[in-house]
Structure 1
């Protein structure tokens, strides 16, 4: 038989898929109808002998001829599609993912990948951001959408920690071939929290070859991290380079409007009618993560259910005290800022939000925008919405004006200093 050496079983699959006809025709012409082809997997720095299996190839344009036998490497242990468990949580979907300015690129890229896995430039797709911002929800939504469109695809969600544990177990039980075959048999591989690969050299090496095998076959790879790939420490530069082959998109903490939308959706999902002013209060004070935001709402709903109390701002304050600490340590809100500025300059908050360009209103409004940028996590666009729907360029101009006044106008500098002290007290 003719032996054809390949670096992995996935190359023999690639040859069978794309060059089957050419190989078969050439073998029959050169060696005759009894030709046999054997694939040999050559592994660098390894002398292990791989168990082989046989597949049948139909004769080239000879319907009555005997099939050609071709010996292949070990039989992969990956289950059939019908028995395949991809560890996806079905409740994570695009339908219940709140998209906004803070996650727009990641959300758009995720939808594109879900529609055409492995056929966009976003391969791999790397989504990074702090804990609790929705990375896991988004990447699992990709997997669920892909399966909705094609149930025959093998979509696997895992974490880097689980990958590492399974790899160690495979080594200990002499099943590295089966481990490798399983992970390289998937059509879509989703790996959460790749920062866990830091410092694990052997795991990184295995994942490097798994990544290469999948990418060369056009399979989709989706990764998440708590930081950009280039900031990962103790990770092989070869892996860092491959993580950056596709698209890297970040998710930032949600702004006020997005936090409010998340709370509204969550309260609807829980079947509880929470007054808007209660949701607004929570949205103003819980600014760090989606997970913490939803946790506060669930705690409030639990108190309503167990204690028989009505949802109110006072109850929300109690819940936030128990989770976030004393109220005086909570974040400064836009209402706090507008009220303080209006009182200091002796005008109404309505004038701050109005369209008037009177000098006695313009300066206080600019100061309020400056303080909003300094003391809250709101985006420029979100700040503008609190002042009559002004756009982000107007907000930026106001901030720059106040910064100029701070260096040249002692009166404005004193006003800003006193207001900051009062708001932080």
Structure 2
């Protein structure tokens, strides 16, 4: 007979504790889910928690959202609630206006699938909080291009994401300077401005800052922030409804277009054609375009060459992973925004152990804040150790780039010196790319740091290797088996 799970004895009780349980669940989801998914589906939910914690009812806005959340997120939410409470929790969904309840307790969460990118869904919303902060209050809460039904153009800018709230450091100084120049003199130099970098480094924050600064200087400016997926959705709607006059009026009349993650245009020919037309129209009227991507223009896959050449015709700048001092400042500022003071020694402890990007840094902060609130303990290094124990156990493996290089060189029977040489035959270049991929996957080194350890190579070379091996691993069984052996060897 299976022993009944025990409730966390340190967990508070009462109605406030019920909301605390839900808030802890939300903060974990904010860390686990991509920012766009979290802002669209999880953040708007309102929770009603039973006094005995055995049932949580989530109120949603409409039938579509209810069905989608039930199918895609109910299992994960239920599992998180159970993990936090220590006993099974029944999860129900209800349409807020009608109070019609549908039971949706699904387990295990591992059987749920994430929403897929689609040209025709037209349901993705983008609220533009660069770091996925649950407290960000974006202005753009409507869907698609139907948002102006009240006769008011919505710019979708998040007023909280400004140059003043962006922590500056070596990692983003050039990109921030270029963005400020664009905000001060739109339509002149650096048009288009193309900002690229890894996930969670603050690209979205920066483009919102451009829009907010221009809106401050010119309140009548017609500005639109949008995610590339929403542009895809708008193109599909225009084709389906034969409303291209409205589509062109919307996009071709802007003073400033801010568009996130243009890599999502890959393999979407109609979308690329319409974006090219909008791009040309905006540049002709000296409007400004600011774009973000996870890679530099020529590194984009399955994008038409003429569009890539347009992307590369202005200024291209990178945002790098933040250095230690910048990570400490981000943690202290973000904690303050949550009405919490984080001791500097705790911020340094977290910053030393979370190095990859701002989003993971904020995820660690949310874990610490949730752990502190739910267990009613003061924030300290010991509490941070407890809250981040899973992350720290990975860190403590202490896999070094040098060890990766030696292990890979031995496996493929080449010299360790070949890892940082300029030789390019396939027998050497391939193992070198594999070692770069493993260095990114198994260490906390940034792309520039990895590049430096591979003979002073540029970070874009490392990024190319990581993307190439990652993609091929999904398709080539033999490569996947080789990587598995190397990973197990390195992890001991």
Structure 1 residue 318: Cα displacement: 1.7
Does 1:237 pair with 2:237? no
Equivalence for 1:138: 206
Preserved contact between residue 139 and residue 222 of structure 1 (Cα < 8 Å): yes
Preserved contact between residue 266 and residue 302 of structure 2 (Cα < 8 Å): yes
Equivalence for 2:93: none
Preserved contact between residue 285 and residue 330 of structure 1 (Cα < 8 Å): no
Does 1:285 pair with 2:285? no
Preserved contact between residue 105 and residue 249 of structure 1 (Cα < 8 Å): yes
Structure 1 residue 378: Cα displacement: 7.6
Equivalence for 1:227: 295
Structure 1 residue 329: Cα displacement: 3.5
1:109-258 correspondence runs (5 A): 109-120=178-189, 122-258=190-326
Structure 1 residue 323: Cα displacement: 4.8
Structure 1 residue 305: Cα displacement: 1.8
Q: Secondary structure at the match of 2:201?
A: coil
Q: Secondary structure at the match of 1:101?
A: coil
Preserved contact between residue 356 and residue 444 of structure 2 (Cα < 8 Å): no
Structure 1 residue 331: Cα displacement: 8.1
What CA distance in whole angstroms lies between the structure 2 residues aligned with 1:323 and 1:162?
34
Preserved contact between residue 78 and residue 182 of structure 1 (Cα < 8 Å): no
Q: Which structure: larger Rg?
A: 1
What CA distance in whole angstroms lies between the structure 1 residues aligned with 2:448 and 2:243?
55
Q: Secondary structure at the match of 1:126?
A: strand
Structure 1 residue 273: Cα displacement: 1.8
Structural RMSD (CA): 3.0
Equivalence for 1:409: none
Match of 1:88 among 157, 168, 175: 157
Gap change, CA 1:78 and 1:262, over 3 Å in 2: closer
Deviations 1:230-282 (A, max 9, x none): 01111111111111111000011111111111111112222212221111110
Q: Secondary structure at the match of 1:222?
A: strand
Gap change, CA 1:330 and 1:176, over 3 Å in 2: farther
TM-score by length of 2: 0.51
Equivalence for 1:267: 335
Query: Which runs of at least 4 in structure 1 moved beyond 3 Å after TM superposition?
Result: 77-82, 322-327, 329-332, 375-381
What CA distance in whole angstroms lies between the structure 1 residues aligned with 2:339 and 2:330?
14
Structure 1 residue 227: Cα displacement: 0.2
Gap change, CA 1:311 and 1:240, over 3 Å in 2: same
Deviations 1:116-156 (A, max 9, x none): 11122x00000000110000000011101110111100000
What CA distance in whole angstroms lies between the structure 1 residues aligned with 2:296 and 2:182?
19
Equivalence for 1:297: 365
Deviations 1:59-83 (A, max 9, x none): xxxxxxxxxxxxxxxxxx9969982
Preserved contact between residue 261 and residue 293 of structure 2 (Cα < 8 Å): yes
Preserved contact between residue 81 and residue 154 of structure 1 (Cα < 8 Å): no
What CA distance in whole angstroms lies between the structure 1 residues aligned with 2:252 and 2:333?
38
Gap change, CA 1:218 and 1:270, over 3 Å in 2: same
Gap change, CA 1:305 and 1:330, over 3 Å in 2: farther
Point out where structure 2 has 5 or more consecutive residues left out of the alignment: 1-145, 401-442, 450-455, 457-490
What CA distance in whole angstroms lies between the structure 2 residues aligned with 1:380 and 1:199?
30
Deviations 1:204-238 (A, max 9, x none): 01110110010011000000000001011111111
Deviations 1:309-363 (A, max 9, x none): 111111111222245654524788xxxxxxxxxxxxxxxxxxxxxxxxxxxxxxx
TM-score by length of 1: 0.59
1:308-387 correspondence runs (5 A): 308-323=376-391, 325-326=393-394, 328-329=396-397, 377=445
Point out where structure 1 has 5 or more consecutive residues left out of the alignment: 1-76, 333-374, 382-395, 397-423
1:386-425 correspondence runs (5 A): none
Give the number of aligned pairs: 268
Structure 1 residue 377: Cα displacement: 3.7
